[in-house]
Structure 1
């Protein structure tokens, strides 16, 4: 800003300007020094005087206020200022906007006009930033490709996992069904065996009826048992008679055998 005032004084602008313009330049200078860059730019724009130095100083104030597009417009209008300096500042504005190719071009043009260490430094820095950004883009692209690939792989893995789970579930369901069928067949087999055993026991019970009470040892009906006693008595009587005959004592008659009653004479019987 001091340079602006000096240029204006040296060019005689301030001599023809009113007291108001001089006061405005002072206020703009004070605002710039106080880092009130927006205010400084506004004050400079209000000056009626038109000169490259005015546009250059406006560009510097706007650059400090981080209004880089407006700063470049002001620098482009400041034709007549040292060209290498003007290109250097245009390059700085492009650098801040991360327009690396444009900034590199502006710095290289400035260096062709005049060697400057600051311009060289900014040129190399712009190239490094460009390279870094390109590498970052490649890395981001690679990361995105890996992300897409992993996403696809995860999708396939999930699909395979779902298929495996479905397969395992089907196998478990089949095993449960097989076990259920096996248990059912075993139950039916056991039930059939129980029925068969029960039927067999019932058949044996029908084949051998329950003996009457008191006749369990013989296993024969009571009537048949009484007939056997009669036969036994007859046999004993026959033995007794035979025994008497052997002793020479022949009876005059025999007891009626068979259906006759004991002691009754049979009319058809013959004497010995």
Structure 2
């Protein structure tokens, strides 16, 4: 890209300049030609208040452009209305291009061509349009990439939610199964009755107690009857047993 940057010293600039300013302008021009752009800018800034002309702003724009201060260069070029408009717009186009503002760069080159049909300006305009196209394609690609990334992120989030729900459902199912098992175990223990030594189910404590009393009464009654029989000498059927013979009934034996 051609960069046509010229120091301009117009009549208005010379008329406004005093002897001191004129010497400063001359020194700034020499510094510019010697590629001492920082020194040139400092000298011009020093007389900016006393010599506020379009030419001075244009020359300051050139020094800032050479220093790589493109935003400052754009500011000075925009204030330099009144100089060669084709050249001013051309340098503005270069400054916008370097600053990454390709839209403004295209506009400035197109504006410059209105004043002068210049092949270098056309080449720079073509380069600016190509850069603008690539920038738009990159923005679109980045946007699509971001959208794809967001879609992937959403899919991952949905999958995570689904997995978490599945784990939660499984945990709830396992807890319910465990709870049902505990309830069933408690029910079995409640329904199960204790057994006695013979393996039979025992009744309630009151029934066991009642049964023991009945047995005790029976034993007492049996003892009482035995004593009564002994006192009354109740006869019993007796047999004498011989070898190989059936025992004979005793003569003293009496029937019941």
TM-score range, shorter chain: 0.5 to 0.7
Corresponding residue for residue 169 of structure 1: 171
Instruction: Give the whole-Å Cα distance in 1 for the aligned partners of 2:89 and 2:188.
Output: 99
**Larger Rg belongs to:** 1
Q: 1:127 to 1:206 in 2, by over 3 A?
A: same
Shift of 1:78: 1.7
Corresponding residue for residue 182 of structure 1: 184
Structure 2 gaps, min length 5? 1-5, 220-224, 241-248
The reply on whether 1:39 has 2:56 as its aligned counterpart is: no
Contact (CA 8 Å) 2:37, 2:63: kept in 1 or not?
Answer: no
Instruction: Give the whole-Å Cα distance in 2 for the aligned partners of 1:136 and 1:182.
Output: 68
Stretches (4+) displaced over 4 A: 13-18, 108-112, 200-212, 220-231
Corresponding residue for residue 78 of structure 1: 83
Q: Which of 145, 148, 158 is equivalent to 1:143? A: 145
CA-atom RMSD in angstroms: 4.5
1:35-114 counterparts in 2 under 5 A? 35-36=37-38, 38-43=41-46, 45-46=48-49, 48=51, 50=53, 53-63=55-65, 64=67, 65-66=69-70, 67-79=72-84, 83=86, 85-110=87-112, 113-114=117-118
Structure 1 gaps, min length 5? 213-219, 240-256, 260-272
Q: Which of 220, 228, 232 is equivalent to 2:238? A: 232
Q: 1:22 to 1:126 in 2, by over 3 A?
A: same
Q: 1:229 to 1:199 in 2, by over 3 A?
A: farther
Q: 1:18 to 1:152 in 2, by over 3 A?
A: closer
Shift of 1:103: 1.3
Corresponding residue for residue 198 of structure 1: 202
Shift of 1:38: 4.1
- TM-score, normalised to structure 2, is 0.63
- TM-score, normalised to structure 1, is 0.60
Q: Number of aligned residue pairs: give it.
A: 223
